[in-house]
Structure 1
Amino acid sequence: MQQLFQAIRQLVPVSEHDEQVIGRLFTQKHYKKGAFFLPEGTVCRYAGFISKGLMRFYINIDGEDKTYGFLQENQFISNYGSFVPQIPSAQAIQALEDSELYVITYTGLQQLYQELTHGERMGRIIIEQVFIQALSDLNSFYTDDPETRYRKFITDHPDLQQRISQYHIASFVGVKPQSLSRIRKRILEQRVKRS
């Protein structure tokens, strides 16, 4: 739980009383690789903090998964479009590795906002960060070609290349795995020419 306290402290000051409230309202959950934090078509019951592991956000379109995001250690996670209004989600969130999260229910989060000294401010900052990332990813999908998206992925997430299958990276970039192989080969050849 120290990772969670530290992450919240980076957003707002946290008193000893606040730590007690956080410890009471968050519970630890484990997700095996392949398990769902949020199955498609269900209501998102939790917001969480990833203390260990890796999660993938995707949507199923005509039987094909379209990955639109990855979250890893020390990041907050939820599908706010389902969690806040408590409506079923068209998206799914799945563990790509055995993962450990600290989760809080919707009701618990409302209590957290009220009971923490800076609870409302913390919530606003987290939502703003999620919103900015979602806009950036959406803009990239519509304005960048697959090679540019892949280059951004390896720049923004150099540590994730070894943790995520090429299939999921290709889905995130918006191409088939064979096309991703060609993109990777082209980038490697350009690096060799520059050396």
Structure 2
Amino acid sequence: MQEFIDYIKEFVDLKEETIEHILSVTKEEVFEKGRQILDVGRTCKHLYFLKTGSIRSFIYQKGKDITHWVYGPNTLFTSWGSYILQNPSNEYLAAIDECTVFSISYENWQLLYEQHSELERFGRLVMEQELAIIDEFYKGYYFLSAKEKYDLLVSAYPNITQIANLGHIASMLGISQETLSRIRVK
């Protein structure tokens, strides 16, 4: 679980007692390839740190599987709206390949926030960073050509092509896989 602690330390200093508390409420899990982690309509009760593998969030719209985002190693993930608001999810989460994750329940994470102020700061800094990335990506998304969308995605998320297949990336960009293949050749 050292990877998770190291990730937090990129944002804030941690006291030894905070580290011990985090470790006492964190569970390591392995998700097999294709495992559905969250279904639409269920409330997301966990925050996850992805140690290895990749996870995608997606929806079904008009019978089509549409990928919203792909998470790679050393990132936090959850169904953000569902987790933060404790409302039913409007998306699915699934393992693209075998994944090792560290999970903390919503209740335990709230307790960590209450008892360790540095973790509240960590949470704020992570949310600010993620919001900035998402904001930059989606503001440009609607007005750009397919090539510009791809370039924007790769600039915001440089290792996306190593963790997601072309079908998922094309879906994220709202373009066909053939168009994405042509863009990548150029």
TM-score, normalising length from structure 1? 0.87
- Whether the 8 Å contact between 2:70 and 2:164 is mirrored in structure 1 is no
> What SS is found at the alignment partner of 2:42?
coil
- Whether the 8 Å contact between 2:72 and 2:163 is mirrored in structure 1 is no
> What SS is found at the alignment partner of 1:144?
coil
Superposed CA RMSD in Å reads: 1.7
Q: Which amino acid aligns with 1:18?
A: T
Distance 1:142 1:126, change over 3 A: same
Mark the structure with the bigger radius of gyration. 1
Identity %: 27
Q: How far apart are the structure 2 equivalents of 1:70 and 1:112?
A: 27
Q: Which amino acid aligns with 1:138?
A: Y
Which blocks of at least 5 consecutive residues in structure 1 are unaligned? 188-195
Deviant stretches of 4+, over 6 Å = none
Which blocks of at least 5 consecutive residues in structure 2 are unaligned? none
Give deviations 1:142-166, integer Å, cap 9, x for gaps.
Answer: 1222111112334444543243222
Displacement after TM superposition at 1:61 (Å): 1.2
TM-score, normalising length from structure 2? 0.91
Counterparts in 2 of 1:170-185, with a 5 A limit? 170-185=170-185
Displacement after TM superposition at 1:48 (Å): 1.1
Equivalent in the alignment of 1:31 = 31
Q: How far apart are the structure 2 equivalents of 1:52 and 1:115?
A: 29
- Whether the 8 Å contact between 2:137 and 2:156 is mirrored in structure 1 is no
> What SS is found at the alignment partner of 1:131?
helix
Aligned residues: 186
Equivalent in the alignment of 1:192 = none
Counterparts in 2 of 1:12-27, with a 5 A limit? 12-27=12-27
Equivalent in the alignment of 1:122 = 122
